[in-house]
Amino acid sequence: MTHQAGTCRLLFGPMFSKKTTRLIEEAETLTDLGIKCLFVNHIDHQRETAAGDIFVSTHHSQYKGLSSKIDRVLAERASEINPDPYKAIFFDEGQFFPDIVEWTIDAVFNKGKIVIIASLDGDSNLKPFGRVHDLESICEQQNIVRLTAFCKPCLKQQGRLVNASFTAKLNPGGPQKEIGASDKYMPVCMKCYLRHTQKGPEPVIKVEQLEAMALPVAKRDESKEGTVVAARK
């Protein structure tokens, strides 16, 4: 039996970029259209919101709670989720699910589901976080969404609204997975990230490797303008 392929949609961004808010909005939009939806949050990331909801973790001060029409569950692994009763499944904190790639591919291509995942696109060391990036190859371009926050240092120190694409720890260091909110993290632009951490990420390719990889450079014959006669490194 063949199935019509579903859809994979990814919402990337740093902390405080309203990924969860966007995820909730899209879940409620589909629910209002009569689509049966499930909202999944990672069990390690639960914290009770002002709305008394332990299933949704959001920094949005206006959050009033997830629609009662949307089923919700906490899980440690995506494989704990049975997608069969639902047409659309929404994962928050996708970076924490170790098997999110395999589960999503099966749900989209073998079961025709809509899977929408909100995830950090990097950690506080500018390193990839989790495996959600591996799903970009099965997404159409319009279904890879990159959100930004406002840089907190730029806003507080200069009164400027500058897009923040990165997350910095207030006290740099520690493990990659460290649950927290504004008590531990802040959104930053690259300039403020480097100033705050006083360093950048470790280079993926060292200078010596770049020099070894350098392509031959054409040498111009000065006696004949525009003529290339040799190549040198």
Assess contact for 116 and 11: CB atoms under 8 A.
yes
Provide the sign of the torsion angle of the four alpha carbons 39, 137, 104, 94, taken in this order: negative
Tell me the two tokens of residue 165. Answer: 């694409």
- Residue of 180, 169, 187, 170 lying closest to 125 (CA atoms): 169
Among residues 93, 102, 211, 225, the one annotated as catalytic is 93
Tell me the two tokens of residue 144. Answer: 């890879």
Rounded to a whole number of angstroms, the distance between the first and last alpha carbons of the chain is 58
Assess whether 102 carries a catalytic annotation. no
The amino acid occupying position 39 is F
Q: What residues pair up with 218 in beta bridges, in sequence order?
A: 231
Pick left, alpha or beta for residue 174 (phi over 0 → left; psi -120 to 50 → alpha; otherwise beta). Answer: left
Residues classed as catalytic = 93
